[in-house]
Amino acid sequence: MPKRILEKTSLEVSRLRSDGSYAVGGVSGLYLKIEGGSRAWVLRYVHDGHRRRMGLGSYPLVGLAEAREAARNALKLRLGGVDPLQARQAQRQAARLAMARQVRFDDAAEAFISEHESTWRSTLATYAFPHIGHLQVADIGQAHVLQVLAPIWKTKTETASRLRGRIEQVLDWATAHGHRTGPNPARWRSQLEHILADPNNLAPLKHHAAVPVAMLPGTYQRLLTMDGQSARALCFLILTAARSGEVRGMVWSEVDLEAGLWTVPAERMKSHREHRVPLSREVLELLRAQPRIPSVEHVFPSNRKGPLSDTALTALMRRHGLAAVPHGFRSTFRDWAGEMTHHARDAVELCLAHAIDTRTEAAYRRGDMLEKRVAIMQDWAEYVASACRLQAEVAP
């Protein structure tokens, strides 16, 4: 017959000081463990043939009566075939998930934006937050997304399409971090494509004003004489044929000067796929001359030490009477490649990070035609800078 443990009183428990485990009675398996000055309640029990130990809190924060009550409740679960330790772990996990699902859309968006391009904030704050900013991301459905997009889908199609993509990425981020489950209600394929009109069919495409190919070397030469980060960023944009947002958001960690490569991460690309940009000798010279400011990660920072705004480059061109927009230089690059070179069209399109056909897509995945693109971008840079070289050659 097992030895019966006498029930200790609260006073007797308070007088226990030496290291060790003390059975306090009242509930089988309840002990006060003292070690190095700390005192804590432990319940010992056997479940499915395995000895288990379950902590019930520290003493005196949890008193004797509370510890006995907690031990009795745990043993009741064991009698019902439930491991009390596993039950508590499941309860805590459920509580964590419940807390995670209480994240609101604006909180999730701010967290996502902090990891991505800062210019997202204005678009989401203007169009999305008034409708869904206060909602928990777990509760957002297709009707909520349509409430945001429908009013501007036909009148501001480009903005609305970009906004949809950003909402989709915020909700994908929320799902990845355990804040919601289920399909993404902002996804185009299999979701919104059956409700909203195809944005490509709503209005004719507007061509971006571009500098003619023949005038580009002179334009570039003029830009080199201008001061400021916007001028340097615009020169870099021309030489790389990159998009404005990709250039403005570029940070030094993306650049490998020794390898002559700029790797744009997938989250900053329109295609949502990492893109490697070969850097010509002219680009490397520009970057090596660019001052690196301690604690500033952007290659072309604004006066506030963040990235340049989305209007900074356009404003510079307007101030100096350049009848074009930054995006138009990509059209100039394509015209140059088609009219003045014999470079393969597929490789030229890859330089622009454009969508390509299935055959070329397979080639891209094998090696992204980097060697061919290195040659293209060097030829392009030499053409762009040709007026500068000519001036240097004729200078006395």
Instruction: Check: CB of residue 300 under 8 Å from CB of residue 229.
Output: yes
Question: Does 311 score more than 60 pLDDT?
Answer: yes
- What pLDDT score was predicted for residue 305? 73
Domain 10-96 CATH assignment equals 3.40.640.10: no
**Which one-letter amino acid corresponds to residue 346?**
D
Amino acid at 312: A
Over residues 163-185, the mean pLDDT reads 92
Q: How far apart are CA 356 and CA 199, in angstroms?
A: 20
Bridge partners of residue 29, in order along the sequence? none
Q: Cβ distance 225 to 310 under 8 Å? A: no
Q: What percent of the chain has pLDDT over 90?
A: 35
- Residue recorded with tokens 């006066």: 303
Residue type, 23: A
Whether the predicted pLDDT of 364 surpasses 80: no
Of residues 146 and 57, more confidence is placed in: 146
In angstroms, what CA-CA distances link 210 with 215, 216, 283, 334? 10, 10, 21, 11
Residue among 156, 169, 152 at smallest CA distance from 112:
169
**pLDDT recorded at residue 213:** 87
Mean pLDDT, residues 226-230? 92
pLDDT, tens digit (0-9, with 9 covering 90-100), for 345-355: 889 989 998 86
Does the N-terminal peptide bond of residue 60 adopt cis geometry, omega within 30 degrees of 0?
yes
Show Cβ contacts of residue 131 under 8 Å, excluding neighbours closer than 6 positions.
Answer: 144, 147, 148
DSSP state at residue 275: E
DSSP 8-class letter at 306: S
Q: Please state, in angstroms and rounded to a whole number, the distance separating the CA atoms of residues 324 and 210.
A: 5
* Check whether domain 105-201 has CATH 3.10.20.30, yes or no: no
Q: Which residues of 91-125 are buried (b: 16+ CB within 10 A; e: fewer)?
A: eeeeeeeeeebebbbbbbbbebbeebbebbeebbe
CATH no. for 213-394 = 1.10.443.10
Mean pLDDT check: name the lowest of 11-20, 99-108, 123-132, 270-279. 99-108
CATH 3.30.160.390 residue ranges of the chain are: 10-96
Q: What is the pLDDT of residue 94?
A: 67
Strand partners, 50: 47
Residues in Cβ contact with 189 at an 8 Å cutoff, skipping those fewer than 6 apart: none
Band of the pLDDT at 324, cuts 50, 70, 90?
Answer: confident
Among 108, 208, 207, 205, residue whose Cα is nearest residue 166: 108
The DSSP call for residue 344 is -
| Res 360: pLDDT | 44
Q: Which residue has the higher pLDDT, 303 or 170?
A: 170
Distance of CA 301 to the CA centre of its chain: 20
According to the model, what pLDDT value does residue 290 have? 93
Average pLDDT over residues 6-35: 85
Has residue 16 got a pLDDT over 50? Answer: yes
Q: Of 113 and 336, which is predicted with more confidence? A: 336
Calculate Rg over the CA atoms of the chain. 32
Give the residue-averaged pLDDT of 46-56.
83
For all residues of the chain together, what is the average pLDDT? Answer: 84
Least confident of 51-60, 196-205, 208-217, 340-349: 196-205
Higher-scoring residue by pLDDT: 95, 136: 136
372-387 pLDDT per residue, tens: 999 999 999 999 998 8
In this predicted structure, the answer to whether residue 330 has a pLDDT above a threshold of 80 is yes
- Taken in order 115, 117, 121, 127, the sign of the CA dihedral is negative
Q: What's at 363, amino acid-wise?
A: A
Start-end of H helices in 177-299 = 216-224, 229-240, 244-248, 281-289
Enter the pTM of the model: 0.49
Give which of 266, 229, 244 is closest to 115, Cα–Cα: 266
pLDDT tens profile 111-164: 766 655 555 777 788 889 999 999 999 999 999 999 999 988 888 888 888 899
Q: Strand, helix or coil at 266?
A: helix
Residue 205 CA to residue 110 CA, distance in Å, equals 32
Looking at residue 204, its pLDDT comes to 46
Least confident of 104-108, 132-136, 321-325, 362-366: 362-366
Local confidence band at 393 (pLDDT 50, 70, 90 cut-offs): very low
Q: Start-end ranges of CATH 1.10.150.130 in the chain?
A: 105-201
How many CB atoms neighbour CB 230 within 10 A? 24
